[in-house]
Each structure stands twice: as structure tokens, then as C-alpha cells.
Structure 1
Amino acid sequence: MARVEFNPRTNLIEQAAYKYTLQDVPEPNLYREIFPYTEIPKIAFNHRHVPMFVPDEIWITDTTFRDGQQARSPYTVEQIVRLFDYLHELDNDSGVIRQTEFFLYSKKDREAVIKCMERGYRYPEVTSWIRARKEDFQLVKEMGIKETGILVSCSDYHIFKKLNMTRKQAMEMYLSIVEAALEHGIVPRCHFEDITRADFYGFVVPFANELMKLARQANMPVKIRACDTLGLGVSYPGVALPRSVQGIIYGLRHYAEVPSEWLEWHGHNDFYKAVVNSGTAWLYGASAVNCSLLGIGERTGNTPLEAMVIEYAQLRGTTKNMRLEVITEIADYFEKELDYEIPPRTPFVGRAFNATRAGIHADGILKDEEIYNIFDTKKILNRPIVIAVDAHSGLAGIAAWINTYFRLEGDKKIDKRDPRVAKIKEWVDKEYENGRTTVIGDDELEMVVREIMPELFKMHESRVK
């Protein structure tokens, strides 16, 4: 008969959670019915639903200097320090962007860590990442870092095919390095690599149970990062493990009793699900989601940090005291100083993310920009709405461009029926009649305005001065 007991975490009398033990199977479980490899992966449903459980606090951690550096030319020490400063300025002591992680393997990596630690910021805290090797752990001790990520691959793809071990051998190796961290007072953060292809009840939960035992013995946190290494996580209601994001988070909390504040989601965007999966992890009990600036990371990238800053604001109804305009400064730094090309329509950071070309949209913006803008991008991100003029913009589009470019408000706004707007449209029409296919640039339009509306241009110049 099932034992029942009062659960102080839910304040309910519940059947005692089943305690899963390691299944040390002789052959790997590769879930071939879901991941056939020669076909697109399948999304399987078992129609089981788990309860939402939003933690008291949710926050963001950063992997720009770890996973992010695996997808581009390495940053210089100076660039790392500047980006670290930007993260601190964006967080603005709100504690929403809590940590960032670093490699420690090269002299340059270690120099960057030292310079960032010398900044003395509370947020983001400097942490590291190592493989499950004692020689790697020595680096953490030497650097004086208080928390380190440890690679603990958990799918049979990795355990059998990459490590050439059994599940038992892998678990014993992982536990030994975690014990070493705890012995030296360093918080271990176990990166459960490839969790969305892992045997959840045969390895993941039994391993997490052993980690929680070590945490209780040492009276120290042992954190778990659920790594969706190939972006296979799915957040649909009733989706089956191992791909269920909510199932993974619920299972770690319920069956291994991992506290929310020790639980983190790390997603990739291979199937366009990085942001929604990260949000789902928050909603079902993970306090932390791991991100990188602009989503730069392995293959299709990580969850963009700036996206989760906005998601945090939507879920919590506050930005706390974060300075969201720093997101625009970060985007400018990537483009101007790092020569990184941001696709122009990338939400929040692309040059054209709040741009409109359609004449009917521009007509609405002429009346009130709120009609076609997602929020006050000028106030929140220091990114005024952009009007792009092309063959389809019409009188409304040109008038809207003039008003936004010259920052005309109230009774100073130019109406689309102004005859001078018609003259500018004639020039635009001729450009496309002569075979032009590109958008009219701001500099070109500025020259035309100088000729047709010189008084407007003089007014703009005097205000800038």
C-alpha cells in the first residue's frame, strides 16, 4: 500500500514519491522511436500534465563567455571586460542577471576572469565551467572561484558513445568530482548535458538523488543545470519525456527534491524553441534560465539574454531596476566594435525590429505610434520607431518617416496631405520607375527634405545644437 505523508513544500498530504534507482543497462537507450536520426525527430505525447510551480524568485544566468565563445572568434580580454560591464549595467543591482560563467583553460581566459573579479560587482557573479576531471578542478581552486559548472553528460548517447562507460561508471566519476568541490567549499553546478535525450527515470533522477544526498551531507548547495543540448525540448501540454520541458523540471523537483533555487535551464534554439522553453522552465519550477548575449552559442545558439529580460518583465510585471536601454548599447557594441552583423529584424536588437514599411501601417503610426509598435521602444530601449521608405510606402509612409526622423510631435507633425510630401513621393516614385529595388536610405531622404522643406531641416539642426 502506498505510503502517504504531509509534504511541507506543497502543504498537501501526498503519496510518497517513488524513489528511483539507477538502471545500469548493458545497452544504451537511444530512444530510436523518437530520434530515428535519418528522419526528423518525433514529438510524442502521453497526455500527462504536471502542475505549474513558479518559484518565489526567478533570474537569469549568462554563458556569453563560455558557450557564446564556442560560436565565434574568441573575445579579447578587453572585450570580455566591457561586455561584463554591460551585463552589470543592464542588471543595475537588481539581481535579475545573477551570474556569468567563464572558461579557465587559457592564459587569456584566466586574465579575463581576474579582471572581471577585480570589478567587485555583486551581479553578475563570476563562475567557471570545467569538465569532470580533477586536474580541471585544480584550476577553480587556484582562481578562488566560489562556484563552478561541471560537465556531467546524462544521455546514453554521451555515456556509451562518447565516454565509453556504463551509467554506473559515469555516475561514480561525476560524484567524485562533486565531492571534491564540496570538500573545498566550492558550490558545484552540475550540467546535465543532453537531458532531452536521456533516460529520465533510469539515470537522471537517480543521479540527482545522489547529488542531493551529497548536498545534505555537506550542508551546501549542489545545483543542477538541465541542458537541452540539441534544442529538442518541447513545452506542449501532455508531451512525453524525455523531450518535455515541464516534465523534466517537475520531475527533478518532485522525485529528486531539488530546490527551485538550485535548478536551472540551459536551452538551444535548433528547433526555434529556446525562448519559450526557457519561459516554461521558469513557470514549472526552475529559478534560473541560462542565456547568452544575442543568443550567440553552439549551432543555432542559446536563449538570447535580452529576450529573457523582456520575458521576465512580462511575467513579473516589473523590470525591477534593470536599465533596459543598455540592451541597445550592447547591440551597438557588437556591431561597431566587434564587427558582428545582427540580422536587422532580430527582436529588440536588430536595426529594423521596430521598423515599418507598409503604407497602411505608416498611416496608423501617423495617428498614434502605439497602434503598430509593441511598446514604447524609445522610452524603454532608447530605440525610436523606424519608418523605412520604399516603393510601397505611399504618402503616409513618407510623412511618418519625416515625423520620426525629425522628432516632430503635436501640431508640428507633417500631415500626409501636405503638398511637399507629394513632391517627395514623386522623387521616390521616379527612383523605382528607373529600376531601383532597395529601400531609400535616410541620408538620401534627408537630402530631398533639405531641398523641398529647408525650413524643417534648419529647425532640426537648431534643436540638435
Structure 2
Amino acid sequence: MENKKIQIFDTTLRDGEQVPGCKLNTKEKIIISKKLEDLGVDIIEAGFPTSSPGDYKSVQEICKSVSKTTIVCALSRAVEKDIEIAAQALQYANRPRIHTGIGTSNYHILYKFNSTPHKIIERAIHAVKYAKKFVEDVEFYAEDAGRTENEFLAKICENVIKYGATVINIPDTTGYCLPKEYGEKIRFLKENVKGIHKIILSTHCHNDLGLATANSLSGIINGAQQVECTINGIGERAGNTSLEEIVMIIKQNSHLNLFTKINTKLISSTSYLVSKCTGMNVQANKAIVGINAFSHSSGIHQDGVLKKRETYESINPEDVGINKSSIILTARSGRSALSYRYKKLGYFLNKNSLDLVYSIFLEYADRKKEITDIELKIILKKANINNNFLHKTNNNTTNNRRINVV
């Protein structure tokens, strides 16, 4: 079976920036957009131009800064003025896309718009038709599609396809769906919407229940061809689908017969850049990019990884731009890890020496979260075997020391 390409639509600069306390200036957005282009994303959603003069300027400058091959997208509501401003902001883009849409669930129709399903369809059609006057590539979002009845969702999708939508976004706006439900929704649309084969179907999942990545995965398994996501999973409330997670799931699972054009070796540096610019720290246990993602402190795990990395790591850290796994010394660490860390410092301990040093190490480790290289040297001195060090001199090493049998 031929592998199917999944387009990566990055919305770090739009949905990602909607995190409270996160504000990017135009210069920072340009820096990030260029990094996203290097990373290999297919579409950059540069902002929501009508929201502020600053966002308008950022979208405009990003269009000037990125290469001719990258699609630059601007968000709008299903409002003529919004669409006009988005089009103006995109005027310098070689491949512009307007992303317009409206809420389709009963919650939105009744309470947000005080409207009717029929009027919502009319507004959706008008928005797409109006956006087509400015750009050829029009993406329509059915906001809160996760809580929208499938039959109505199919009807609105069929209508916007008829009037020129090139991409249809199926957002799980409140992170409501379970993966099976979301996948079935995508499958229902693929099987019941006339003209669906003409357009790209996109996922846009939020992480309110921690299911954003799982829902996006279920979506593409069931026929979606585009994933909307953010670096580090940042975004409204609990965040969005994490780019690094969905990309590495696809990369690591060849049986899915899917691929992206992301250069995964740039994931770590991109994550760091976004975290630095936004001021949003990455949680330590965050998959792929968290500081603990390739760190080991349990003695059993450390021993396994030192013998063969794959024992406790399904991802090679080098694949995401990290040089190597980290062996962290704590009270849970074993002799293998301790010996390994001493070797990194140039000290080679035999069994008797290691046993003696290890007992002292545990006394320190029980009092501290982590043992540093400085403390490892202190522990050696406390073991009172410092006089047994032999200076090792070979072609490349001038300060290695070996601990003799005690």
C-alpha cells in the first residue's frame, strides 16, 4: 500500500498564542515562522488579522518573510469585514489561504448566534463565496464540530464544498470527543458527503480531556489528510494537538502507511525557540520535548538503557534533535548508572570500589533530588580511596583515572 502524506498545519502563531500570558511581537513571529518553515510544516496559520493591528502586521510580514512554497493562512469569522481584512493581510503571500467558518453545534447555533440551522448554512455559504473572491484556497471551519450532529455537519460540509471550499476543518473545539467518536465522525463525512473527495479534510483537536493527539490520530486513520497542531501543544485552555507528538507517532508507526515532510531532527530546537519566545515553559514530563522525555533515574531502567537503548526507549532521541539520553543519579539509581557516570568523568571503578562508593552515594542521594558531578567527586574523596587512583595516559586522554581493586 502506498503511503499517504499528512499535511501539517501549524497554528502556533494563532491558536497557540491565545494562551493567557503568551504574547508574541512581530519580530518573534517572523523568527518562529522561519523556523517552522525549516521544520517542514505545510501551512502556517499566521494569525487572526482582524483581531488587532499588531496581528494584521504580523500576518503581512510573515507573508513577506517565508518562501514561496509555504502556504500562509489567516483566520476570519464568517463576516465580510473579517474576510476582507484577512485578504489584505495576505496580499504578499505567494500561496495565501483564508480560514473562515462558523459554529455548527446546537450550543453555538442557539446560544452564541441565537439563530437557526438554516441561517447558519446560509452564512457558511456566503463566507466561502466571499472569501473565494480574494483567494482560491479557502478553508472552512465548522466550529464545535465535535458536538455537532453528524447529519447536519455533513449537510453544511456538502454546501461549502459546492461553493468552493478547498479544505474543511472539523474542530473538536472543547476537547469533548473520544477518539472512537471523532474517528467515526470523520469516517461518516468521508462516506456521506458529496464531493468530499475534492477537498482536504482536516482535524483540529483541543486537549481539555488530554485526548487531542489521540483524536487527531483517529481522525487521520479514518481519512483526514491534514492535522492542525501547535509546537509543545500550546493553545486555548489545555492546549491543542501537539505537533511533535502526532508527527512522531506517524514516524514511529510505519504500519499506518502515513508520512509527513517534517524534519524531526529540528523538533527539539523548535520547541525550545517557541518556549523561549512565548514564556511558556514545557512541562518536564511532556512527551518528546519535555526535559524528562529521555531521562532515566530508576536503576532498573538505567541498567536496561545502558545495555541497549531500545529496552526503555521507543524513540531515538537523535531523531528529535537530542544528542543522547540522560542518566540522572537519584536514590533510585543503581550501580550501573553510577559506574557509567563516573566513567563519563574519567574514573573507572572495579566492583569492590564501586560497592564502597555506592553505599556512600546512597547516603547523599537520600538527602537530595539529584546528585551532580561535583558531588560525585566529593563522594570519591569520602570513600577514602583517592590514593588508589592511577593516572591513565593514552593518545587522547590526559585526566582519566582508574580505581584499583581495594
Whether the TM-score (by the shorter chain) exceeds 0.5 is yes
**Could you say which residue in structure 2 is the equivalent of 1:431?**
364
The answer as to 2:114 corresponding to 1:164 is yes
CA distance in 1, matches of 2:390, 2:330: 22
Check the 8 A contact 1:260/1:285 in 2, yes or no: no
* CA 1:55–1:164: 2 relative to 1, 3 Å: farther
Other structure's SS at 1:149 match: strand
1:98 Cα shift? 3.4
**Could you say which residue in structure 2 is the equivalent of 1:179?**
129
Matches within 5 A, 1:186-197: 186-197=136-147
Letter in 1 for 2:170: A
The answer as to 2:10 corresponding to 1:66 is no
CA distance in 1, matches of 2:376, 2:15: 42
Matches within 5 A, 1:33-112: 56-72=4-20, 73-91=22-40, 97-104=42-49, 105-112=51-58
Name whichever of 454-463 and 352-361 sits farther off: 454-463
Matches within 5 A, 1:26-425: 56-72=4-20, 73-91=22-40, 97-104=42-49, 105-122=51-68, 124-143=70-89, 144=91, 146-201=96-151, 203-215=152-164, 221-236=165-180, 244-257=181-194, 258-259=196-197, 261-316=199-254, 322-336=262-276, 338-378=278-318, 380-402=320-342, 414=348, 417-422=350-355, 424-425=357-358
Check the 8 A contact 1:88/1:123 in 2, yes or no: no
CA distance in 2, matches of 1:392, 1:199: 51
**Could you say which residue in structure 2 is the equivalent of 1:18?**
none
* CA 1:462–1:118: 2 relative to 1, 3 Å: farther
Letter in 1 for 2:240: N
1:388 Cα shift? 1.1
Check the 8 A contact 2:144/2:174 in 1, yes or no: yes
* CA 1:184–1:332: 2 relative to 1, 3 Å: closer
Check the 8 A contact 2:12/2:231 in 1, yes or no: yes
* CA 1:311–1:134: 2 relative to 1, 3 Å: same
Unaligned runs of at least 5 residues, structure 1: 1-52, 216-220, 237-243
CA distance in 1, matches of 2:178, 2:372: 42
1:155 Cα shift? 0.1
Deviations 1:380-420 (A, max 9, x none): 532411111111212122123345x56x9xxxx956x4455
Letter in 2 for 1:290: E
Check the 8 A contact 2:4/2:258 in 1, yes or no: no
**Could you say which residue in structure 2 is the equivalent of 1:43?**
none
CA distance in 1, matches of 2:296, 2:214: 26
Check the 8 A contact 2:365/2:371 in 1, yes or no: no
Other structure's SS at 1:174 match: helix
TM-score, scaled to structure 2? 0.84
1:456 Cα shift? 8.3
Check the 8 A contact 2:175/2:206 in 1, yes or no: yes
Unaligned runs of at least 5 residues, structure 2: 401-406
Counting matched residue pairs gives: 385
1:156 Cα shift? 0.7
Name whichever of 357-366 and 157-166 sits farther off: 357-366
CA distance in 2, matches of 1:260, 1:440: 59
CA distance in 2, matches of 1:224, 1:59: 13
TM-score, scaled to structure 1? 0.74
CA distance in 2, matches of 1:76, 1:422: 56
Other structure's SS at 1:327 match: helix
The structure with the largest strand share of the pair is 2
CA distance in 1, matches of 2:122, 2:259: 43
* CA 1:414–1:115: 2 relative to 1, 3 Å: farther
**Could you say which residue in structure 1 is the equivalent of 2:403?**
none
CA distance in 2, matches of 1:318, 1:414: 46
1:291 Cα shift? 0.2
Other structure's SS at 1:266 match: strand
* CA 1:454–1:381: 2 relative to 1, 3 Å: farther
CA distance in 1, matches of 2:135, 2:248: 35
* CA 1:380–1:389: 2 relative to 1, 3 Å: same
* CA 1:423–1:341: 2 relative to 1, 3 Å: farther
1:450 Cα shift? 9.8
Other structure's SS at 2:170 match: strand
CA distance in 1, matches of 2:261, 2:397: 33
1:461 Cα shift? 9.0
Check the 8 A contact 1:98/1:123 in 2, yes or no: no
* CA 1:318–1:169: 2 relative to 1, 3 Å: closer
1:340 Cα shift? 2.8
Check the 8 A contact 1:60/1:288 in 2, yes or no: yes
Name whichever of 142-151 and 348-357 sits farther off: 142-151
CA RMSD for the aligned pairs?
3.1
CA distance in 2, matches of 1:371, 1:55: 28
Check the 8 A contact 1:328/1:383 in 2, yes or no: no
CA distance in 1, matches of 2:340, 2:357: 13
1:454 Cα shift? 9.3
Check the 8 A contact 1:365/1:400 in 2, yes or no: no
1:260 Cα shift? 7.0
* CA 1:97–1:179: 2 relative to 1, 3 Å: closer
CA distance in 1, matches of 2:30, 2:398: 37
Check the 8 A contact 1:245/1:281 in 2, yes or no: yes
